[in-house]
Amino acid sequence: MLIRTHQDGFIHPLSSEITSPEVYATRRQLLRQWTAGAAAAGLSVWAQREAFAQGGGVAAKLAALPATQSQIQGAMTVEKLTSQQDATTYNNFYEFGTDKSDPARKAHTLKTSPWSIEVEGLVKKPTRFNLEDIMKWGAMQERIYRMRCVEGWSMVIPWIGYSLSDLIRRVEPLPSAKYVEFITQADPQTMPGLRGGYLDWPYVEGLRMDEAMHPLTLLTFGMYGEVLPKQNGAPVRLVVPWKYGFKSGKSIVKIRFVEKQPLVSWEKAAPQEYGFYSNVNPKVDHPRWSQASERRIGEGGLLDKKRKTLMFNGYEAQVASLYAGMDLAKNF
């Protein structure tokens, strides 16, 4: 993002252990068989998570999170999955440092249980909810989303969660609520990056209400058949596949319904570079680099041919109508 030493963000230093869709599907089937009995009691699986994750880092054994394949239009891209190894070791999570390898090495200190989310602002009854309860508000679905980071790299990741709209309906926002703000964890005891002062903490993101209600906007609890690793935003994060990755806030602790467009972290830090909408748009360049193409992590780094970036990251059919009539160069 702002850190210039990472302009070479296309190169990732990791071995490329690509899991083919077939291998992954078989693994998933096995996981399902193993966890069939646990499906109804998915939350007891969740309760074991903390114990599994104590080791932290890449090697942590995480609990399975049972899910069914999503039937939502556009939610299951058939592109080759990014390897789980790459997706969990090449991350942005500035609360743990600015290097892509920092989150996997340092996020083990994040305490993810107990966890609650406070819902506040323009809702019928502002309330704090336990994560275990929130997890029951929607049926866990797997969705395979194309992800595009603002720095020019992309991945394809099998996420698990349910549409954020299920939560929003449940908490009954008032008609005056036009935007949703997501406030994430900021704990100096467990997040060493907070001392770096890269951003104004906590990390805050936001969506317009219709974007938040769009069925593709995923309240996310897991990936690759398991609960989220800490470096990927455990225990709960957002995934908004048609926007640059930074709109997908990690480790959410508060959801606030507001009338006015919130000032979100990167826009606050560098408004000339990062706008509120941040829709993936190959025609609107970042002031310091083109957004017309991208490199897929695991496909050979700098030596590999770039691929063209798609409008709305390939989700144009599903989301373009949200922006009808808007000047997307101005509203970047």
- The residues binding ligand MTE (CB under 6 A) are 1, 91-95, 149, 184, 203, 232-233, 245-246, 248-251
For the CB of residue 220, give the shortest distance to ligand MTE in the complex, in Å: 9
CB-nearer residue toward ligand MTE: 39 or 58: 58
Per-residue CA distances from 90 to 41, 55, 57, 114, 271 (Å): 32, 19, 12, 27, 26
Q: Which residue has the tokens 């920092």?
A: 102
For the CB of residue 157, give the shortest distance to ligand MTE in the complex, in Å: 7
Radius of gyration from C-alpha coordinates of the chain: 19
For the CB of residue 37, give the shortest distance to ligand MTE in the complex, in Å: 30
CB atoms < 10 A from the CB of 12, how many? 18
CB atoms < 10 A from the CB of 189, how many? 8
Q: Tell which residue, 147, 192, 126, has the closest CA to residue 295.
A: 147
CB-nearer residue toward ligand MTE: 96 or 162: 96
Distance CA(107)–CA(250), nearest Å, equals 12
Give me the residue whose beta carbon is nearest to ligand MTE. Answer: 245
**Percent composition of the chain: helix, strand, coil (DSSP 3-state, to 5):** 30, 20, 50
Q: Which residue has the tokens 């160069």?
A: 329
CB-nearer residue toward ligand MTE: 92 or 309: 92
CB-nearer residue toward ligand MTE: 67 or 110: 110
Distance CA(268)–CA(148), nearest Å, equals 21
CB-nearer residue toward ligand MTE: 33 or 272: 272
CB-nearer residue toward ligand MTE: 24 or 246: 246
Distance CA(225)–CA(227), nearest Å, equals 7
For the CB of residue 143, give the shortest distance to ligand MTE in the complex, in Å: 14
CB-nearer residue toward ligand MTE: 168 or 240: 240
For the CB of residue 41, give the shortest distance to ligand MTE in the complex, in Å: 27
What is the 8-class DSSP label of residue 1?
Answer: -
CB 59 within 8 A of CB 84: no
Q: Which residue has the tokens 């748009």?
A: 281
CB atoms < 10 A from the CB of 298, how many? 25
For the CB of residue 95, give the shortest distance to ligand MTE in the complex, in Å: 6
For the CB of residue 245, give the shortest distance to ligand MTE in the complex, in Å: 3
CB-nearer residue toward ligand MTE: 70 or 232: 232
For the CB of residue 290, give the shortest distance to ligand MTE in the complex, in Å: 18
Distance CA(170)–CA(173), nearest Å, equals 9
CB-nearer residue toward ligand MTE: 63 or 238: 238
Q: Tell which residue, 62, 63, 58, 61, has the closest CA to residue 104.
A: 58
For the CB of residue 149, give the shortest distance to ligand MTE in the complex, in Å: 4
Distance CA(289)–CA(109), nearest Å, equals 34
Q: Which residue has the tokens 């305490």?
A: 111
